[in-house]
Amino acid sequence: MSTVIGNNKPKSNNKLIGTSLVIGGVVIAAMMIFGILMLLAQGGVISVSDAMFYQFLTIHGTGMIGAAALAAAGVMWYFLSRYVNLSRKVFIWFLALVLIGVVMVVVGVFSFKFASAWTFLYPLPAISASAWGTIGALLYLIGMLILGTGFLLLYIDTGRAIIKTYGSLGKGLGWDVISGKKRLEDAPPKVVVASTMVTIVNTSALIAGATVLIMNIINVINPSFTFDPLLAKNLTYAFGHIFANAIIYMAVIVVYELLPKYANRKWAVTKLFLVAWTMSTVFTLLIYTHHMLMDFAMPKWMLIMGQALSYANGLPVLVVTAYGALQVVHKSGIKWDMASGLAFLSMFGWTVGVVPAIVDATIVVNHVMHNTKWVPGHFHMYMGLGAVVMLFSFMYYLAKIDSNVKESKLDKIAFWCYALAIFSVSAQFLVSGALSTPRRWAIHYPGWMTPAVFGAIAGVFLVIATSIFIIHFVRYMKNRGTLGSDMNEQETA
C-alpha cells in the first residue's frame, strides 16, 4: 500500500510540474553564462566594469538558488501528490508569483543596477554609495518578497495536506513510529518524511526572510527607520542557509523513488531513516550560525552550537541515503540509463561536496577560509554535482515514463561532459580558495587568475551539456502523454 506509484491522477499534473522544471532548467543554464562571464572577468580575459560584475554576481546567486528551488519544488510536488491531496490551484499561484518575482528581480538588477549580492545584507540595500537607487533596491527586495510568498503558499499547502492525511507534521516525520506507538510497516513513505522536513524548515526560513525583507524595504523607503544589523544578519542567514539547503532535500526524493523502481528492489523506511531526517530537520534550523563565526558580538554558545551541529547537519540524511542507495543498487542488475545514472551521480556529488563544507565549518579553518573561494568551491560541488543533477535525473525519468522520446548517444556524452565540467568548475574554486583568493572580488591579482580561466573553459562545456539535458526535456514536453514505458503503472516489488 505504501508504494503506490501509479495512482488515479498522475498525468494531468505533469504539464504543470514540467513547466516548473523547464523554467528552472532554462534559468540555471542562463545563469551559468553569467558564472562564466564572472570567471572570465576575474581571469583577466574580458573587461567588465566593477558595477557590472556585482550585478552578475547578484543575478547568478539569486537566479541559481531560486531556479533550483523552483524545479526542486516541482519534483517534491510530483511525488508527494501521490500520497496526499495537494492543491493544483496553489501550485499555479506558486508558479505565477515566482515568475512575477523573477521579472522584478531581473529588472531591478539590470535596469536599475541593484548589486548587493543575493544576501542583500542590511544596510547595504539602502546605503550603496550611489551605486544604485531606491527603485532598484525596491524592485529587488519586493520581487524577492513576492517570490518568497509564492514558496510560502506552496509549503502551507503541503503542510495542510500532510497534516490532513497523517495527523500532524510530527507524524509526517514518523515520530509515532520512532516512539514505538506505531508499527514500522505503517511508517510514512520516504517522500512524505522528506516533504515534511522541507515544509517545516522552509516555512521557518521564509518567515525569517520575509521579516528581514520587509524591514529592509522600510529602511530603503525611509532611512530614518533602522534596526539591529546583527539581528538582520541572523534573519538573513537563517533564511538563506535554510532555503538553499532545502533544495537538495526536495530534489533527493527522486533518488528515493527512482532507484528502487529501476533496481526492482524495496527501499524500506527504517527507524534509523526516520531518526536521521528528524535530526537533520532540527540541525538545519539551527546551524545557520556558521555564517556568523566572524561576528564577535554573537553569543559564544550560538557559535559553538553552529560549529558542532554543522558537522552533524547533513550527515544523518546523507549517510542513510547514500548507504541505502548503494544497498538498493548493489548486485541488483539495475538498468542504467540517463535517469538512474544521474540519480547515482548525484549521490556521489552530494557526498563529495559535503567534505569541503565540513572542513570549512571548523572555526579554526573558517577564520582563514571563510571569505575565500573555498566556500563557492564546496557549494558548487554539492549543488552542481548533487542537487541540480537530481533535477536532471527527474527530467529524464519523467520523459521516459510519460512519452516515447528516446535517449540518444548525445545524452550519454552530455552526461560525462556535465560530470567532468562541474567537477572542474568546483575544483577550480577549491584551488583558488587554497591560494587564499578572496571570494566576491571583481578583480584578481595575476597570481589568482589561472584557475578562473580554467573554470570558465570548463563552464562552457557545462552549458553545452546542460542545454542537451534541457532540450531532451523540452522535446518531452512537446510529446507528453505518448505512451512510453509503462513503469509509471508498475508497483515496486
Stretch that binds ligand HEM, among 44-52, 207-215, 316-324, 375-383 (CB under 6 A): 375-383
Q: Within 10 A of 223 (CB to CB), how many other CB atoms are there? A: 12
C-alpha–C-alpha distance, residues 436 and 444, integer Å = 11
Nearest to 376 by CA among 28, 39, 30: 39
Cα–Cα–Cα angle for 208, 210, 211, nearest 5°? 65
138/292 with CB nearer Cu ion? 292
Torsion angles phi and psi, residue 484, rounded to 5:
-110, -135
Q: Is 137 in the site for ligand HEM (CB under 6 A)?
A: no
- One character per residue 85-114, x = contact with ligand HEM (rule: CB under 6 A): ------------------------------
Q: Which stretch binds Cu ion (CB under 5 A): 139-147, 240-248, 264-272, 404-412?
A: 240-248
User: Could you tell which of ligand HEM, Cu ion, none binds residue 480, using a CB distance below 5 to 8 A set by kind?
Assistant: none
Measured distance CA(143)–CA(122) in Å, rounded: 17
Q: x/- binding map, residues 112-131, to ligand HEM, per CB under 6 A? A: -----xx-------------
241 touches, from Cu ion, ligand HEM, none (C-beta below 5 to 8 Å by class): Cu ion
| Whole-Å CA distances, 297 to 183, 302, 450 | 48, 11, 38
Phi/psi at 372 (5° precision): -105, 175
Minimal distance in Å, beta carbon 46 to ligand HEM?
13
- Residue 42: CB minimum distance to ligand HEM, A: 6
Q: Is 308 in the site for ligand HEM (CB under 6 A)?
A: no
Decide which of ligand HEM, Cu ion, none touches 38; Cβ closer than 5 to 8 Å per partner kind: ligand HEM
Are 260 and 266 spatial neighbours (Cβ–Cβ below 8 Å)?
Answer: yes
Residue 442: CB minimum distance to ligand HEM, A? 8
**424 within 8 A of 454, measured Cβ to Cβ:** yes
User: Which of 290, 312, 386, 285 lies closest to 345 in space, CA to CA?
Assistant: 386
Q: How far is CA 486 from CA 17, 401, 405, in A?
A: 20, 6, 14
Of 59, 64, 201, 470, the residue at the interface with ligand HEM (CB under 6 A) is 64
Of residues 7 through 46, those in contact with ligand HEM by CB under 6 A are 32, 35-36, 38-39
The DSSP 8-state label assigned to residue 438 in this structure reads B
Least distance (Å) from ligand HEM to the CB of residue 458? 7
Give the separation between CA 103 and CA 387, rounded to whole angstroms.
24
CB nearer to Cu ion: give 241 or 265. 241
CB of 406 vs ligand HEM, minimal distance in Å: 27
Residues in the chain: 493
Closest to 374 in 3D by CA, of 390, 358, 350 = 358
Contact residue for ligand HEM among 240, 376, 386, 484 (CB under 6 A): 376
Residues 386 and 408 sit within 8 Å (Cβ to Cβ)? no
Q: Does residue number 462 form part of the binding site for ligand HEM (CB under 6 A)? A: yes
- State CA 120 to chain mean position distance: 19
Q: Which does 233 bind (CB under 5 to 8 A by kind): ligand HEM, Cu ion, none?
A: none
User: Nearest-CA neighbor of 328 among 186, 493, 83?
Assistant: 493
Task: Please tell me whether residue 384 binds ligand HEM under the rule CB under 6 A.
Answer: yes
Which residue number places its CB atom closest to Cu ion? 241
Q: For residue 86, how far is the Cα from the chain centroid?
A: 22
Q: Tell me the closest approach of the beta carbon of residue 264 to ligand HEM, in angstroms.
A: 32
Distances (CA, A) of 335 to 252, 327, 339, 422, 487: 20, 15, 10, 25, 13
Give the span between the Cα atoms of 363 and 367, in whole angstroms: 6
Among 88, 182, 412, 440, which residue interacts with ligand HEM (rule: CB under 6 A)?
Answer: 440
Q: Which of 60, 82, 190, 241 is close enough to bind Cu ion by CB under 5 A? A: 241
Q: Does 182 bind ligand HEM (CB under 6 A)?
A: no
Give Cα 253 to chain centroid, integer Å: 13
What span, in angstroms and rounded, lies between the C-alpha atoms of 172 and 182? 12
**Contact with ligand HEM (CB under 6 A): which of 80, 192, 292, 388?**
388
358 binds, among Cu ion, ligand HEM, none (CB under 5 to 8 A by kind): none
Binds 380: which of ligand HEM, Cu ion, none (CB < 5-8 Å by kind)? ligand HEM
Task: Kindly state whether residue 65 participates in binding ligand HEM, applying the rule CB under 6 A.
Answer: yes
Taking the least distance from each CB to ligand HEM, the nearer of 390 and 462 is 462
Residue of 273, 366, 268 whose CA lies nearest to 317: 273
Scanning 63-71, 128-136, 159-167, 268-276 for contacts with ligand HEM by CB under 6 A, the matching segment is 63-71
The least CB distance from residue 334 to ligand HEM, in Å, is 27
Could you say which of 75, 242, 320, 425 contacts ligand HEM (CB under 6 A)? 425
- 322/329 Cα distance (integer angstroms): 11
Give Cα separations from 149 to 68, 74, 119, 200 (angstroms).
Answer: 17, 16, 17, 15
Query: Which one of residues 14, 18, 22, 60 is an interface residue with ligand HEM (CB under 6 A)?
Result: 60
Nearer to ligand HEM, 64 or 162 (CB): 64
Q: Rule CB under 5 A: which residues touch Cu ion? A: 241
Q: Which residues of the chain form contacts with ligand HEM (CB under 6 A)?
A: 32, 35-36, 38-39, 57, 60-61, 64-65, 68, 117-118, 373, 376, 380, 383-384, 388, 425, 439-440, 455, 459, 462
